[in-house]
Amino acid sequence: MKWITRERPKIDRIACPWLIKKFVDSEAEFIYVPFSDVLDKAKELDAIPFDIPDTEYTHYKEQTTFDYIIKKHKIDDAAVLIIAGIVRGADTDRHDIAQESAGLWAISAGLSYNITDDVKLLETGIILYDALYSWATHLYKQNHLQNSPFENLLHQVYNKLLNEKKSKNKKTPTWVKDLKEMIQDQIDTQFTFDLKQISNDLELNPSYLSREFSKYFEDLNFGDYVRKLRIEKAINLIENSTYTLTEIAYRTGFSDQSHFTRIFKLHTGKNPSSYRKKNTKK
């Protein structure tokens, strides 16, 4: 059977012939003529017009001619259905439909630009869609780096360097410096912290401060960071003062010595009295 459409094909008018020859009519013949001649030539040559307005084989709403052929001829091949989405996105400039649509459009436009003979263009396009069909059938869920350990390693190294560069270039917010000074002030006085009050003092939303805190404070949340500083101050007092452990617990903001002992052991692996015996400076 003969099929006819307008000249200078790019997407649908290459994809449809491939689909027809593979699933509808392997002996199909395709003819490209100027748009104004398609319907007259169709009658003259007893050919089926396609991808032309006001014909059966055409676009319907957001569906392409490729979609219509699938529906008309009840093609249920899974790979073809994947390709249909790619073709639809490329042919209608809706590249959000499939991530491959933009690539198909770029390659198809490039082929059309390089090959001015429509018959030769179709022959080349058939090869393109054969490759796309093989990918959709066998390689659809496979990534390029999956079978290349060396390239995968290079990719990982590149991403690491990129992340490090971003980290170095990332400007530390002003509030981080202000908060560190506030915490240091508290360390040297009563060592009491109220996140809500601190948020008000910094003019920040408490939820934002809580969420962003760990990015700038050793990957610790607010509570863990404060406990870490308390223990560091306690260690300093144990090693360099004659305060009793009860006094040290009070001076580092713990409610009682029992709580102080538990947190100290969690951070150092020893209870405060054992640590003092082993580490007190003489």
DSSP state of 60: B
User: Which residue has better confidence, 170 or 190?
Assistant: 170
Across residues 189-206, what is the average pLDDT? 71
In the chain, how many domains are there?
A: 3
Same domain, yes or no: 150 and 33: no
Across residues 129-142, what is the average pLDDT? 91
**Pairing between strand 29-33 and 2-6?**
parallel
Same domain, yes or no: 151 and 40: no
Same domain, yes or no: 128 and 231: no
Across residues 144-160, what is the average pLDDT? 61
Per-residue pLDDT, 282: 47
Q: 81-85, 88-92, 248-252 — which is least confidently predicted?
A: 248-252
List the one residue out of 82, 76, 75, 77 whose CA is nearest residue 140: 82
Q: Per-residue pLDDT for 172 more than 80?
A: no
Mean of all residue pLDDT scores within the chain: 86
How deeply is 140 buried, as exposed, middle or buried, from its count of CB atoms within 10 A (0-12, 13-18, 19+)? exposed
Same domain, yes or no: 7 and 67: yes
Across residues 48-74, what is the average pLDDT? 96
Q: Per-residue pLDDT for 33 more than 90?
A: yes
Residue ranges of alpha helices (H) inside 135-244 are: 149-169, 174-187, 195-202, 206-216, 222-240
Q: Which two tokens stand for residue 42?
A: 């169709």
Q: Per-residue pLDDT for 65 more than 60?
A: yes
Q: What is the pTM of this model?
A: 0.54
Same domain, yes or no: 79 and 159: no
- Determine the length of the chain: 282
Same domain, yes or no: 186 and 165: no
Across residues 109-135, what is the average pLDDT? 96
Q: Per-residue pLDDT for 192 more than 70?
A: no
> For residue 83, which amino acid is it?
I
Same domain, yes or no: 163 and 179: no
Same domain, yes or no: 110 and 209: no
Q: Per-residue pLDDT for 150 more than 60?
A: no
Same domain, yes or no: 148 and 194: no
| CA gap 190, 210 in Å, rounded | 22
In which domain, by residue range, is 148 found?
Answer: 143-169
Single residue among 139, 159, 192 that ends a domain in this structure: 139
Q: Per-residue pLDDT for 107 more than 90?
A: yes
CATH number where 195 lies = 1.10.10.60
User: Which residue has better confidence, 281 or 133?
Assistant: 133
> What percentage of residues in the chain have a pLDDT greater than 70?
85
| CA gap 205, 209 in Å, rounded | 6
Same domain, yes or no: 117 and 35: yes
Q: Each residue of 222-278: pLDDT tens digit?
A: 778 888 888 888 898 898 888 898 888 888 877 677 888 888 888 888 888 888 888
Per-residue pLDDT, 183: 73
Same domain, yes or no: 196 and 213: yes
Same domain, yes or no: 132 and 147: no
